[in-house]
Structure 1
Amino acid sequence: MATMSVNEWANQVIKQSQIDKYLINGKDFINEKEISEKLKLCKNNDKNYIRNIIEKSKSIETLTPDEVASLLNVTDNDLWEEMYEAGAEIKRKVYDNRIVFFAPLYCSNLCVNGCKYCGFRTNNKEEKRRILNMDEIKKETEFVVDEGHKRMIVVYGEHPLSDIDYMCESIKAVYDVKKKSPNGNGYGNIRRVNVNAAPMSTEDLVKLKNVGIGTYQVFQETYNRNIYKELHPFGPKSDYRWRLYALHRAMDAGIDDLAIGALFGLYDWKFEVMGLIYHALDLEKQFGIGPHTISFPRLMPASGTSFFSDTKYLVNNDEFKKLVTVLRLAVPYTGLIITARESPEVRDEVINVGCTQIDASTRIGVGGYSENNGKQYKEKQQFMLGDTRSLDEMIKILAKKDTITSFCTAGYRCGRTGDKIMGLLKGCVEGKFCKLNAVLTFKEYLEDYASPETKIVGEKVIQKEIDEISNLPFFKEHGLYNKLMDYYNKISKGERDVYL
């Protein structure tokens, strides 16, 4: 590496053989003509037809592309209201009434790519470049832990200085942090690190697997080839198929928790939803496992580019709610992530149609937790955030709506990943275990981090959950209620990180 230039490094990233092995007759799974035709032809707005699709989704069955296209083309407002209600119902059925929180940690904004919409692109002279060393990563992690977070997603630009060895070292540094909590007698630590990083080779992905990551996240950005080519003029990211099959390689490397997404605002939002569905279906077809989560970030302003102002594909709030709803119905078993890109008003609204994960106390500047006092600097981050509310504030808001916050990471340490968790999700069983672990991890948060007001409303939610658990046959038949209460009492006495 010492003798290899940045350009030389970038030129050796892509392994063509690791693309070709997934192609069928030289073709990938995105057929743009087919997608466009389905969006054009599947316009049956008959209420009974649409309601039959909704009922299929409620049975936790993945929808076909024709069915998804039909939902996207609904124009009847009453049907949309029924779809919103169905999205919320499916979410409760699969995931119960819980929300999982996480925090992002941006480790580096060095990048070799030229994405026209991104503040990190290598030719953006306004961006202030930085890569955190391991001590700085630990310092940032301490700030996140002090908020009460147990999950983190680490984010890297694509650059030789933030290569796979740096990633592995930084993940270990995050896991090394253990800090006494400000309240109570507990301690805080990150128990699960997810990764948002550039596509990499199967060999590098094995290294990522071995360091103990949770989910590996790569967004295609746009599934339209011509738009993709225009917006990614150079760098490894300019190769559409290298990115398209990033998660297939992850599966081959043994990483069985995958996250897909698209950046809405680069192209027509209905086309991108269809692209995500084809992506999910191909993962299911080739590996028997669909995506663990789907994300749907909207394009936001970034330093050094006018792309946000120039694009004709920006998604308005009404369209955004619709696309999230269709994703919830289309892939009913998967988690949906809504991030702090969105405003508080949008997040509070859209979370009701089926989102399962959100971030809070979010800072996306490199070094932004420990150094910027909560301020955003356009030239130091990838895009501008819409929601900077604290974790405690958001937990309190949700608790007042009888929603329990979960910091659970049990499934990943109990082997409930990949095909195992997919089966449990589709059978609406995983949510029951998550309900138990939500109670336990929320109790930890209330004891160790919550403000007095949040603790009061949070305790009411916990008691409501315990009352429900005590009356449900599933928990009685499997002896889980008594075990829950035993663990709950241990947490009350100061024990931490117990799970079912």
Structure 2
Amino acid sequence: MMKAAIQTETFLNYDRIRNLSRVAKPSKTRIEEILEKGKILNGLSTEEAAELLAVDDKESIDHLLSTASYVKKEIYGKRMVLFAPLYAGNHCTNNCLYCGFRAANKDIHRIKLNMDQIRQDTESLIREGHKRVLLLSGESGHYPLSYTLDAIAAVYSAEVNGSRIRRVNVEIAPMDIEDFKTLKKANIGTYTCFQETYDPELYKIYHPTGKKSDYSYRLNVMHRAMEAGLDDVGVGVLFGLADYRFEVIALMEHAADLEKKFGCGPHTVSVPRLEPAPGSAISEEVPFPVSDDDFRKIVAVIRIAMPYTGIILSTRESEDIRNELFQYGVSQVSAGSRTTPGGYSLTGEEENKQFSLGDHRSLEEVINDLTDGGFIPSFCTGCYRKGRVGNDFMDLAKPGLIKHFCMPNGLVSFAEYLSDYAPENLKKKGFNLIDKITADAGSGEIGTLISDSIERVKNGERDIYL
């Protein structure tokens, strides 16, 4: 991997970002020109994305959404990756004004799971059919790196009837390079950390105390992680803390700087909106509200501008908006989520959650709805386990080749779920969808490979991937 000296100063030009966030709405001719460029699948410049963010009429937004749908289909096909967050603890020394875990919230019961409890929670997820977990905790001395490493090992060690979690992604406090080198050895997938807001002045207001109040240290965390050798990183902002146009443009600049310095941008972008959280007044009156129409536009612009980056949508959002955004660029979703430590196996207390959920469907219900929509619910971890990560993943994604792995692997992992966990009605519907997609693939090499792999699953073989 290419090495880069880590900056102590910001790599963002805030005047430029603010100016771009105020550009006027482009003409219909210009919109058409930008969207046609987007269909080439080489992404957009920050300036072009800024113009699309200024679009506000229904006709142009519908055109934007249809283009995003086209881009997603061309890159990823119909697969939708599923995962669940697992909260190891909610102690926190930061005082983020929007978060239920913040240090000043005295009404919350602080919980730190031990390794047996983490295994219990993981086993509950395995029994539902999950294969991918995002491990999280508050940012506190209660959770040193040694604890996180033990927690990762505990998740991987959990087993139910021969089934295990196959990929652990991690969302923990920013660290120094040497600690990231240690984390890399723990067999993690993606390291995720949100900037929350890229606006440095507003950041100070929302993060008055705690280590997280150091804007620059957090902003440069992905540079340190990639300098340490981590292949896949995930970025994101919490929409509602600042002007959404500013945030999207800054996020794109962040991704571009990683690409410039390391030859590879972020693996994923998360797009949460601020939701009510226990003990947080600011979460009840969102400073910069993002409407559903603007949220659709955000997802579509990111998909077109960053076509090879996974877009993650959490259960903060409602069932309806999630089902809709599956069409327009989202490629990974959490399902059956709990935001309370021990929420899958212990008695969860409502006041101990990090934020409120908008989608309360179980994993089975989400999969049922995805199947009705013609999507492939995927638990695939093939790229990660085959070493197709970082630059290697992008080398396949950019020519449009990654879907030739995503689609077969997604179908096989879906067949596993149907065989092992689905009720009879979902099993029948799911295998009908698999048969249809397999038939559409034809009798060539890919179609034959899928048919053979599905048959192996039906005969009891597991963990098949390309």
Return the offset for 1:289. 0.5
Query: Secondary structure at the residue paired with 1:178?
Result: coil
1:310-343 per-residue CA deviation (whole Å, 9 max, x = no partner) reads 4431212111111111111111111111110011
Q: 1:106: which partner in 2?
A: 87
What's the offset of the Cα at 1:85?
0.4
Q: CA deviation at 1:204?
A: 1.0
Aligned to 1:32: 14
Q: Is the 8 A contact 2:275 2:284 kept in 1?
A: no
Matched, 1:483 2:452: no
Give the aligned partner of residue 461 of structure 2: 495
Please say if residues 335 and 366 of structure 2, whose CA atoms lie closer than 8 Å, have aligned partners that are also in contact: yes
Determine whether 1:399 maps to 2:365. no
Task: Quote the residue 2:252 is aligned against.
Answer: 277
TM alignment of 1:67-86, pairs within 5 A: 67-86=48-67
| Equivalent residues of 2:6, 2:224 under 8 A apart | no
Alpha carbons 2:152, 2:168 under 8 Å: kept: yes
- Following superposition, the deviation at residue 27 of structure 1 comes to 3.9
Match of 1:9 in 2: none
Percent of aligned pairs with the same residue? 43
What is the distance in 2 between the residues matched to 1:291 and 1:62?
14
1:22 — aligned with what? 6
Residue 236 of structure 1 deviates from its aligned partner by 1.2
- Aligned pairs for 1:189-204 (under 5 A) are 189-204=164-179
Among candidates 296, 318, 330, match of residue 343 of structure 1: 318
* 8 A Cα contact 1:30 1:278, kept in partner: yes
Residue 398 of structure 1 contacts residue 404 of structure 1 at CA under 8 Å; is this kept in 2?
yes
What CA deviation, in whole Å up to 9, does each residue of 1:317-373 have, x standing for no partner?
Answer: 11111111111111111111111001111111222211101111111111111123x
What is the aligned partner in structure 2 of residue 250 from structure 1? 225
Q: Distance in 1 between matches of 2:425 and 2:450?
A: 25
- After superposition, residues 256-295 of structure 1 pair within 5 angstroms as 256-295=231-270
CA distance in 2, matches of 1:72, 1:301: 26
Deviation string, structure 1 residues 429-460 (Cα, Å, up to 9, x no partner): 01111111011111100000011111111011
Aligned match of 1:297 in 269, 272, 285?
A: 272
Q: Is the 8 A contact 1:206 1:253 kept in 2?
A: yes
CA RMSD of aligned residues (A): 1.4
For 1:334, the equivalent position in structure 2 comes to 309
Q: Match of 1:487, as an amino acid?
A: S
Is the contact between residue 221 and residue 261 of structure 1 (CA under 8 Å) also seen in structure 2?
Answer: yes
> 2:156 aligned with 1:165, yes or no?
no
Please give the alpha-carbon distance, in whole angstroms, between the structure 1 residues aligned to 2:396 and 2:448. Answer: 22
Amino acid corresponding to residue 37 of structure 1 in structure 2: N
* 8 Å contact from structure 2 (residues 439, 447) kept in 1: no
1:6 aligned partner: none
TM normalised by structure 1 equals: 0.90
1:14 corresponding residue in structure 2: none
Q: From 178, 182, 185, give the equivalent of 1:207.
A: 182
Letter in 1 for 2:58: N
User: In structure 2, what is the equivalent of residue 93 of structure 1?
Assistant: 74
User: How many residue pairs align between the two structures?
Assistant: 463
Letter in 1 for 2:461: E
2:411 aligned with 1:445: no
Alpha-carbon distance change, 484 to 351 in structure 1, aligned in 2, over 3 angstroms? closer
Conservation of the 8 A alpha-carbon contact between 1:45 and 1:76: no
Q: How far apart are the structure 1 equivalents of 2:231 and 2:12? A: 22
Equivalent of residue 325 in structure 1, options 296, 300, 307: 300
User: Contact 2:94–2:211 (CA<8 Å) still a contact in 1?
Assistant: yes
Looking at structure 2, the residues matched to 456 and 70 of structure 1 have their Cα atoms a distance apart, in angstroms, of: 46
- Name the counterpart of 2:392: 420
Once residues 121 and 56 of structure 2 are traced to their aligned partners in structure 1, the CA distance between those partners, rounded to angstroms, is 47
SS in 1 for 2:252: helix
Alignment of 1:126 with 2:101, yes or no, is no
**Corresponding position of 1:4:** none
- Alignment partners' CA distance in 1, 2:353 and 2:182: 27
1:312 maps to which residue? 287
1:180-203 Cα deviation digits (max 9, x unpaired): 1xxxxxx42110000111111111
Are residues 1:432 and 2:416 paired? no
Distance 1:227 1:236 in 2: 16
The residue type paired with residue 34 of structure 1 is R
Q: Residue 388 in 1 paired to residue 360 in 2? A: yes
Q: Distance in 1 between matches of 2:287 and 2:251?
A: 21
Kept in 1: contact 2:89–2:341 (CA 8 A): yes
CA contact (8 A) 1:156 1:162 kept: yes
- 1:456 paired with 2:428, answer yes
The separation in 2 between residues aligned to 1:38 and 1:46, in whole angstroms, is 16
1:369 is paired with a residue whose SS is: coil
Task: Give the deviation of 1:44 after TM superposition.
Answer: 4.8
- Report the equivalent of 2:45: 64
Q: CA deviation at 1:39?
A: 2.3
Match runs of 1:211-250 below 5 Å: 211-250=186-225
Structure 1 residues 346 and 484: alpha-carbon distance in aligned structure 2, compared to 1, 3 A threshold: closer
Distance in 2 (CA, whole Å) between partners of 1:224 and 1:176 is 41
Using the size of structure 2 for normalisation, the TM-score is: 0.97
Aligned with 1:54 (options 35, 41, 64): 35
User: Using the alignment, how far apart are the partners of 1:435 and 1:160 within structure 2?
Assistant: 42
CA, structure 1 residues 297+100, in 2 after alignment: closer, same or farther (shift >3 Å)? same
- Structure 2 unmatched runs, 5+: none
Q: Which residue among 43, 46, 57 is the counterpart of 2:24?
A: 43
Q: Which amino acid aligns with 1:59?
A: I
Instruction: Kindly provide the amino acid, as one letter, of the partner of residue 448 in structure 2.
Output: N
Which whole-Å CA distance do the structure 2 matches of 1:244 and 1:405 have between them? 33
